[in-house]
Amino acid sequence: MENKSPAYAVGFICGFLAVFAIAFVARFILVKVLKKKKKCAAYDERQIAARGKAAFIGFIALCAWQIFSMCMDISFGTLFMTPALWNFCGLLVGLCAFVITCIWKDAYFAASEKKLWFFIFTIIATILNVLFFFLNYGAKTAFTSDGLLGTPFINLLASFMLLIIVINLFAKIQIDKKNYKEQ
Amino acid sequence: MKNLKLKAARALKDMSQDELAKKVEVSRQTVNAIENGDYNPSVNLCIAICKALGVTLNDLFWQE
């Protein structure tokens, strides 16, 4: 295992916290501005309830991932990737379960109702992640010295998760269109 | 269980799911879910739907 200097660790944690702080402030400002312009979406009671259920499913998926990782560690004695990457995988699994449940339960918006931007955004994010992975792969930082998968694989795993979301979104749009026509 | 009474009352008023949804300020999917029996609305939403359709709670949501 590679040893990092204390300065590196402090710098990394500070950077991480700074990103969180910036994201929090940006979100706060954005919500204020949207509320002022009355562009903030209002969700009905079913959507809020659906989101609660989606969060629960996401949490269960995260727990399942932790149990799976425990079993993997006991059985094989290795997780085949760095702990940082493995934990990030758990986050992706939980997030993926949450988003997919939200899509199928129309928790935020109806997939077929002019929400093309979400579809386009997800596809662009998928492509960018694949691109960044190959750039990192080219720089030969994809594997650690122990032969474990390194952090550049985060991009590949994120793109895989986004691809699953895109497929679900596409299927939901098609089913919604069909149901709407039947009505 | 499907709420056919709601569907019938809506049809009687010649209202689409979309129009009813906009009147009671919910999404069309929510109206659809109530009609299909996939979602049990709150009392407040039931009252809003009844007011929008000009019927009573008993007419739409009481089960014999």
pLDDT at A41: 66
Confidence of residue A50 (pLDDT cuts 50, 70, 90): very high
Residue of A nearest to B22 (CA): A44
Distance of CA A29 to the CA centre of its chain: 23
Q: What amino acid occupies position A129?
A: N
Chain A residues near any Cβ of chain B (below 8 Å): 42, 44-47, 49, 106, 109-110, 113, 179, 183
Measured on CA atoms in the order A17, A19, A23, A29, is the torsion positive or negative? positive
- Distance CA(A133)–CA(A50), nearest Å, equals 34
CB distance A89 to A96 below 8 Å: no
Q: What is the mean pLDDT of each run of 10 residues along chain B (64 residues)?
A: 86 90 89 89 93 91 80
**Does residue A26 surpass a pLDDT of 90?**
yes
pLDDT at A141: 67
ipTM value of the model?
0.82
Buried b (16+ CB within 10 A) or exposed e, A10-42: eeeeeeeeeeeeeeeeeeeeeeeeeeeeeeeee
Who has greater pLDDT, A116 or A175? A175
- Verify whether the Cβ–Cβ distance B39 to A42 is below 8 Å: no
User: pTM value?
Assistant: 0.80
Q: What amino acid occupies position A92?
A: L
pLDDT at A152: 79
Among the ranges given (A24-33, A80-89, A110-119, B31-40), the one the predictor scored with the smallest mean pLDDT: A110-119
Residue of B nearest to A110 (CA): B29
Percent of chain A predicted with pLDDT > 90: 33
The minimal CB distance from A46 to the residues B17, B25, B33 is found for B33
- Verify whether the Cβ–Cβ distance A46 to B17 is below 8 Å: no
Who has greater pLDDT, A79 or B26? B26
Chain B residues near any Cβ of chain A (below 8 Å): 17, 25-30, 32-33, 39, 41-42, 45
Residue of B nearest to A108 (CA): B27
**Does residue A79 surpass a pLDDT of 80?**
no
Report the residue of A43, A44, A53, A176 to disrupt the B interface, i.e. the one with the largest count of B CBs within 10 Å: A44
Segment A56-79 mean pLDDT: 91
Average model confidence (pLDDT) for chain A? 85
Among the ranges given (A30-44, A73-87, B5-19, B46-60), the one the predictor scored with the smallest mean pLDDT: A30-44
CB contacts, 8 Å: A113 with chain B = 28
Which pair of tokens denotes residue A81? 């990737």
Report how many Cβ contacts below 8 Å link chain A to chain B: 31
